Structure 1
Amino acid sequence: MTNHNKTKLSRLALIACFLLTLGFGMQSCKKSRSEMGKDLYSKTKNKVYKDVTPEGFEPVFKAMLESEGAKLPNAKIILAHYAANGYDPTLLLDHLSGDDIKALPQYLNKSNEHGLDPTLFRAAKIDTLINNIYGKKSIKTLEEAYHDMAELEMTMAASLISYSNALQFGVFNPRKIYQRYYTATARPDSAYMNNALNTKDFKSYLDSIQPKDKHYVALQKALMEGFVATGQTKEETQRTLVTNLERLRWKNKPTQDRYVIVNIADFRLDVMNQGKSELNMKVCVGEGRNKDAENSLVEYDESDKVDRPFSRETPQLASEINMVQVNPIWNIPVSIASKEIVVEAQKDPYYLANKNINVYKDGKLIDDPETIEWNANSGTEYSFKQQPGSDNSLGKIKFLFPNKSSVYLHDTPAQAPFGREMRAVSHGCVRLEKPLEFARVLFGDGTEKFQKIEQFMGEDKSQPTDLALPKKVPVYLTYVTGWVDDAGQIQIRPDVYGLDIVLYGHLQKLIRG
């Protein structure tokens, strides 16, 4: 062969290798696995491994993946990974060091520190298989060696991905377990999961994925130290901590420097700025299914994992406050009109006039609603609008943000509930304790628009006035029953909507299969 041809062939080989490393082939240009048996023997001192070859291992592993792989979590990712790597036991061979490979089951066995059960990640099985492979007398035949290598590789792959996903993204997608959850929540993609499979050092990787948020670390510590909240048993508190650790793992937390957050379970609103609250206040939220704490986290029942929201519960969502309406008109929802307004109008012919409520049919104002013969269908036949005024259920101002649930933040003439601990009393919207202060923070003290708000709110009656915010402000309606406050104290709140029960039910169902 001429030098020219040799050079040409060399260039072609390099190009082929380059293409393969980019994923254009089934095998990458990695270090040859021809020393597979030699490497295994050097680490295990079991002579059986001297006869192990890639050619002998591949059909065993491939057959195992074909028969059992589809049952694995994230099966498509795992099957594609090994097909692209020629069915090499990449995790086993890249982590042959006894300390390195044993780090995986050690971390999996400590998953209870995150409120997760080690059985979810097959920690005991991996530990046993590793001990078999490194035990000089555990594996006596080449057939046993291939089988245990394949089973260990497959199990490690599934468990590594599951554990990594759980710690970085949570075990569940909240949008799939809650009916009224409208906050975008990131989930692990194929690139993230392949990154886990391609790690070269288990311990470094597993350390890197441990949540480091101070709130998470504090709840972890409380869980491991057996913290017991006032009014709860130890078991209830532990389960409350477990559910809130899962919430903290969800990738849906505010990333903006400034935002508004309402914790439904705490009946509180905060305007956050650079990680600190620049304004906080009490709020009233929608009435909940478990407001009297009739149901707790003491026992698990199969039906607990089914979310059955009460019709008035405030949804969890993320949006942006873009506008306020001063002296708002309340377009009364059909459900409230049917169950409350019509009932009151039947009892008192002056109820609508006293409450400043106009009645419409087919979009036309009814001049004399006292002549209406109310019946069970009146709530749908007519529409009702409460005009601006001191009795308006929305008070003097409401804060609007796009959402499919038609909820908003608003003032209220009903001030008594702000003096109560349990403030799940509204029809679904969020009532504000200090609406004018809230407007001041959003618009800026002394600005022209805020001065208009002060003026219009001071008038007894006025036409509705819409004012756009100078800059949209992110708003999050969330539900958290356990957290650490600024003083480092663990705070626990009642599960007024039963959402802890639903989440814990799913976690228990996962463990019990």
Structure 2
Amino acid sequence: MTFTFTKKTSVYLLILGLFVSLFAFQSCKKKHSAIADRLFKVTQNKIYEDVDPDTLAAALKKEIESQKSQIANEEVIEAFVKGNGYQPVLVMDHFFNGDLDILPDYFDKITEHGLSKKPYHIAAIRTLVAKFHDKNGIMSTDEAYHELARLELLTASSLIKYSNALQYGVVNPRKIFSRYFTATKRPDSTSMKNVLLVKDLKTYLDSIQPADPQYKALQKAFLNNTVIDGLSAEESKRYFLVNMERLRWKNKPTEQKYVIVNIPDFKLDVMEGGKSVLNMKVCVGQGRNMDGRASLISYADSDRYDKPFPRETPQLSSVIHSVEVNPTWNIPRSIATKEIIIEAAEDPYYLSNKNIDVYKDGKKIEDPETIDWSTVTADNLQYDFKQRPGEDNSLGKIKFLFKNKSSVYLHDTPAKSAFRKSMRAVSHGCVRLGDPQGLAKNLFGEGEDYDTIAKDMSEDNPEPTNIGLPKKTPIYITYVTCWVDDTGVLQSRQDVYGLDIVLYDHLKPLMGENLNPKSEMLNAKR
């Protein structure tokens, strides 16, 4: 069948095309005018009837350019606004359901977390929201464009910043600590964009309030101006602040079972189902602030930066994968230069008495006592040192291995007297265990592997035995100086590595120098 175009057909198609185009134009215009229509319907302010979406888009673009230095996470916000055709979708989603009315109230309470209100534009958002509620609040279309754009950006910036603060903390530990190797989740563009897509802000904001019992306990102590025994009220407040920030970091164990070492507490716990099933004393690496010279109240400018003492134990997360029973100790060069060659220079038989073998170019030297150690220095040292298994081995009878960048591990020690001391920051960086066999029994359980470990630990086996852990166990070496124990008693420990000082100094500009939690709470309720 052949279709023949006629003059009449052409006219018909032309009219049809014009009709479709007009319909599409009107539909588009109606869609883009929804903002103006809704604002007029709520406020009865006729100014909104003349709001043009194209001019509004241009105003929002201009506002982004002018406010780049003042809004947080500008790139994420600009991408969000651009994706919405430069229309104030965030405002429109939350103005009419009352979300924007309650949002500043949440921001106001940020002081209950020890943080400053300043970044959240509370007064500006309240003023703008009130202006849009007021029938006579907006007096011209130019004002409507500008204030809509401003409210969109301030709301987006403050909402993301508030969400990030409560869920991730305000300080990135990886940026301030030199030896921080703990997996820690930080906000990214996707997580921040998702905040802007939330439909029910109240439900969302309630859901991100810290629920950790430890956090709530420290927060309560902070708000009540609780004083830690032996500290002033101000120093106590700062203890609470730095440890609340630590609890906001997304670096907490999520596994059913894990091993955790708290450096300032000099303790190790095996945790199962949220409870400690094994607790023991440990010795950790020597620190820069063991004498308590610096405190959160009194510290020098140099203390503000993390400059670790060479023997400090790092913060890390890893997985214990195996043990070595009756281990050989490959003595680090740093220890060799500062201790081994000095001892050997004073006593030619020191090396043989300590079961230390000497190697040069990978070959064992048979008579190391014939070397004139007094001429050997850190600059010309050409030897490697290994301590054989035995009672005097510095690693004791067993070491627990896990991958890490600092070559540290958990291990036994022949120097048992250190566990009777209150200050147990005495090692070269590894963690010495008060009950290494108890840890082995817990991790391996009853069976052939543990029987081998117990037998070999009871003997002077000259050969190391490596045994893989059937079920690899996560390990966290952390740094916490204040917490509430299982009985509800507030505990605090000395800042032996000065890490509280480093963290506090980075927190200080984000919380305000003269923050008084009680007065801030009262003001927020008025």
TM-score normalised to structure 1 length: 0.89
Q: Aligned-pair RMSD on alpha carbons?
A: 2.8
1:134 Cα deviation (Å)? 3.8
1:373-410: CA deviations, max 9, x gaps?
Answer: 22223783111111111111111111111111110000
Contact 1:334 1:379 in 2 (8 A): no
Q: Is residue 392–residue 413 contact of structure 1 (8 Å, CA) maintained in 2? A: yes
Question: SS at the partner of 2:311?
Answer: coil
SS at match of 1:95: helix
* Alpha-carbon distance in structure 2 between the residues aligned to 1:160 and 1:459: 63
Deviations for 1:278-316, whole angstroms, at most 9, x for unmatched residues? 111010001111112211112587655421111111111
Alignment partner of 1:399 is 2:400: yes
| Distance verdict in 2 for CA 1:84–1:98, change over 3 Å | closer
In the alignment, which residue of structure 1 is the partner of 2:455? 455
CA–CA separation in structure 1 for the residues paired with 2:83 and 2:298? 46
2:124 is aligned to 125
> 1:438 is matched by which residue type in structure 2?
L
Deviation for aligned residue 1:510: 4.6
Corresponding residue SS for 1:226 = coil
Are the aligned partners of 1:338 and 1:379 in contact in 2 as well (CA < 8 Å)?
Answer: no
Summarize deviations over 1:192-228 as a string: whole Å, max 9, x none. 2122112223222211111212222222222111121
In the alignment, structure 1 segments of 5+ residues that lack a partner are 17-28
Moved more, 392-401 or 49-58: 49-58
Could you tell me how far 1:255 is from its partner in structure 2? 1.3
Q: Is 2:359 the counterpart of 1:360?
A: yes
2:292 maps to 1:274: no
CA distance in 1, matches of 2:136, 2:29: 32
Is the Cα–Cα contact under 8 Å of residues 115 and 511 in structure 2 kept in the other structure?
Answer: no
Matches within 5 A, 1:77-116: 77-97=76-96, 99-116=98-115
Partner of 2:338: 339
Deviations 1:48-100 (A, max 9, x none): 44543423322111111123236532222111100010111122212224842
Deviates more, 1:329-338 or 1:35-44: 35-44
In structure 2, what is the equivalent of residue 442 of structure 1?
443
1:302–1:127: structure 2 CA closer, same or farther, 3 Å change rule?
Answer: farther
What's the secondary structure of 1:477's corresponding residue?
strand
Per-residue deviation, 1:414: 1.0
Q: 2:333 is aligned with what amino acid?
A: V
* CA distance in 2: counterparts of 1:95 and 1:150, whole angstroms: 14
8 Å CA contact 2:294–2:300 kept in 1: the answer is no
Distance 1:111 1:379 in 2: 58
For residues 114-160 of structure 1, what are the alpha-carbon distances to aligned partners after superposition, in whole Å with 9 as ceiling and x for unaligned?
22211133333323433444455654433233222211211110111
The reply to whether residue 382 of structure 1 matches residue 372 of structure 2 is no
For residues 144-163 of structure 1, what are the structure 2 equivalents within 5 Å?
Answer: 144-163=143-162
After superposition, residues 312-351 of structure 1 pair within 5 angstroms as 312-351=311-350
Check whether the contact 2:115–2:512 (CA below 8 A) recurs between aligned residues. no
In structure 1, C-alpha distance between the alignment counterparts of 2:123 and 2:136, rounded to whole Å: 20
Aligned to 2:241: 242
CA positional deviation for 1:488: 2.5
Determine the structure 1 residue equivalent to 2:431: 430
- Taking a change above 3 Å as real, the CA distance of residues 505 and 458 of structure 1, as seen in their structure-2 partners, is same
- Given that 1:262 and 1:268 are in contact with CA atoms closer than 8 Å, whether structure 2 keeps it comes out as yes
- Cα distance change on mapping 1:245 and 1:44 into 2, 3 Å: farther
C-alpha separation in 2, matches of 1:146 and 1:362: 77
Q: Check 1:390–1:235 CA distance in 2 against 1; reply closer, same or farther (3 A cut).
A: same
Question: For residue 329 of structure 1, what is the amino acid of its counterpart?
Answer: T
Taking a change above 3 Å as real, the CA distance of residues 35 and 452 of structure 1, as seen in their structure-2 partners, is closer
* SS in structure 1 at match of 2:115: coil
- Determine the structure 2 residue equivalent to 1:232: 231
Distance in 1 of aligned mates of 2:31 and 2:410 = 64
Deviation (angstroms), 1:245? 1.6
Contact 2:360 2:383 in 1 (8 A): yes
> Share of identical aligned residues, percent?
56
Higher mean C-alpha deviation, range 383-392 or range 66-75: 66-75
Aligned residues: 492
* 3-state SS, counterpart of residue 211 of structure 1: coil
| In structure 2, C-alpha distance between the alignment counterparts of 1:135 and 1:345, rounded to whole Å | 86
Aligned partners of 2:498 and 2:188: how far apart in 1? 30
2:288 match: secondary structure: coil
Does the CA-based 8 Å contact 2:115-2:510 persist in structure 1?
no
Asked if structure 1 preserves the Cα contact closer than 8 Å seen for 2:320 and 2:401, the reply is: yes
Alignment of 1:24-63 (within 5 A): 32-44=31-43, 48-63=47-62
After TM superposition, list the pairs within 5 Å mapping 1:463-478 onto structure 2: 463-478=463-478
Distance 2:76 2:379 in 1: 56
Cross-structure match for 1:24: none
- 3-state SS of the aligned residue for 2:381? helix
Write the distance in 2 (CA, Å) between the matches of 1:362 and 1:106.
70
Change (3 A) 1:250 1:379: farther
1:110 aligned counterpart, secondary structure: helix
Q: Which residue of structure 2 aligns with residue 494 of structure 1?
A: 494
Q: Which has the larger radius of gyration?
A: 2
Q: Does the residue aligned with 1:455 lie in a helix, a strand or coil?
A: helix
Counterpart secondary structure, 2:163: helix
SS in 2 for 1:88: coil
Conserved? CA contact 2:271–2:278, under 8 Å: yes
- Aligned residue number for residue 76 of structure 1: 75
Q: Is the 8 A contact 2:116 2:510 kept in 1?
A: no
Question: Following the alignment from structure 1 to structure 2, what is the Cα–Cα distance between the partners of residues 123 and 268?
Answer: 44
Which stretch of the first structure deviates more once superposed, 416-425 or 378-387? 378-387
* Corresponding residue for residue 290 of structure 1: 289
Report runs of 4+ in structure 1 exceeding 6 Å deviation. Answer: none
Q: CA deviation at 1:46?
A: 5.1
Q: What TM-score comes out, normalization by structure 2 length?
A: 0.87
Structure 2 unaligned regions, length at least 5: 1-8, 514-526
Kept in 2: contact 1:332–1:384 (CA 8 A): yes
Which residue type is aligned with residue 469 of structure 1?
A: L
Partner amino acid for 1:317? L
Is the Cα–Cα contact under 8 Å of residues 483 and 490 in structure 1 kept in the other structure?
A: yes
Q: Does 1:373 align with 2:366?
A: no
Name the aligned partner's letter for residue 193 of structure 2.
N
* Rounded Cα–Cα distance in structure 1 between residues aligned with 2:240 and 2:30: 46
CA deviations over 1:157-214 (Å, ceiling 9, x no partner): 0111111112112223322221111111112233321221122232222111112122
Cα contact 2:312–2:428 (8 A) shared by 1: yes
Q: How many Å separate the matches in 1 of 2:60 and 2:477?
A: 48
Conserved 8 A contact 1:324-1:469? yes
Structure with more contact order per residue of length (Cα contacts < 8 Å, sep ≥ 6): 2
